[in-house]
């Protein structure tokens, strides 16, 4: 089993099932992330219908192999538009988040999948389940924005 890049020790037992989002500790909040990397893929939103399409064009800071942000702690310096999720902003963002995203699932009162590292105990299980962005992306500096629609994909779920 590989080491988990997201610290999950020191969180309460099955906190995601019984602690409201706004009562989670900072560590629990971060531990909720399954590490899929799909939120770091660029999306296209239809202004009229509000429909959101996912593309395989990744944010410039996403590492395609680890599915991690290369500069997570200081990412806003490089990508000012990167969304910082909080319990308070979930209502604004849930609609565009990946269907398997743990924040979205918990926000919608749904259970986490068995492959979530909090349940499996293994950070690789999200990739083994085939639901992450690993190996699916192309960097945004290789594709002009007007061509993103040529790279629309179905979310791997």
Q: Which stretch binds ligand SF4 (CB under 6 A): 17-25, 96-104, 106-114, 136-144?
A: 96-104
**Options 16-24, 29-37, 107-115, 148-156: segment touching ligand SF4 (CB under 6 A):** 29-37
Kindly state whether residue 105 participates in binding ligand SF4, applying the rule CB under 6 A. no
- Rule CB under 6 A: choose which of 53, 79, 99, 119 binds ligand SF4: 79
Window 125-154: residues binding ligand SF4 (CB under 6 A): none
* Residue 103 binds ligand SF4 (CB under 6 A): yes
- Give ∠ CA 138-143-146 in degrees, rounded to 5: 135
**3-class secondary structure for the chain?**
CCCCCCCCCCCCCCHHHHCCHHHCCHHHHHHCCCCCCHHHEEEEECCCCCCEEEEEEECCCECCCCCCECCHHHHHHHCCCCCCCCHHHHHHHHHHCCCCCHHHHHHCCCCCCCCCHHHHCCCCHHHHCCCCCCCCCEEHHHCCHHHHHHHEECCCC
Check residue 35 for interaction with ligand SF4 (CB under 6 A): yes
| Number of residues forming the site for ligand SF4 (CB under 6 A) | 20
* Residues of span 52-71 touching ligand SF4 by CB under 6 A: 59, 61-62, 69
- For ligand SF4, the binding residues (CB under 6 A) are 33-40, 59, 61-62, 69, 75, 79, 82, 97-98, 101-103
């Amino acid at each position: 089993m590989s080491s988990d890049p997201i610290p999950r020790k020191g969180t309460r037992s099955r906190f995601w099932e019984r602690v409201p989002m706004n009562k989670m500790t900072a560590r629990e909040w971060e531990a909720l992330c399954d590490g899929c990397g799909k939120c770091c893929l660029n999306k296209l939103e239809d202004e009229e219908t509000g429909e959101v399409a996912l593309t395989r064009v990744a944010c410039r800071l996403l590492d395609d192999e680890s599915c991690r942000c290369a500069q997570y702690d200081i990412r806003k310096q490089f990508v000012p538009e990167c969304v910082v999720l909080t319990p308070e902003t979930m209502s604004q963002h849930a609609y565009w988040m990946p269907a398997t995203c743990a924040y979205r699932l918990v926000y919608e009162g749904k259970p986490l999948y068995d492959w979530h590292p909090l349940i499996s105990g293994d950070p690789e299980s999200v990739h083994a389940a085939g639901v992450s962005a690993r190996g699916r992306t192309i960097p945004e500096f290789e594709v002009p924005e007007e061509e993103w629609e040529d790279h629309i994909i179905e979310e791997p779920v």
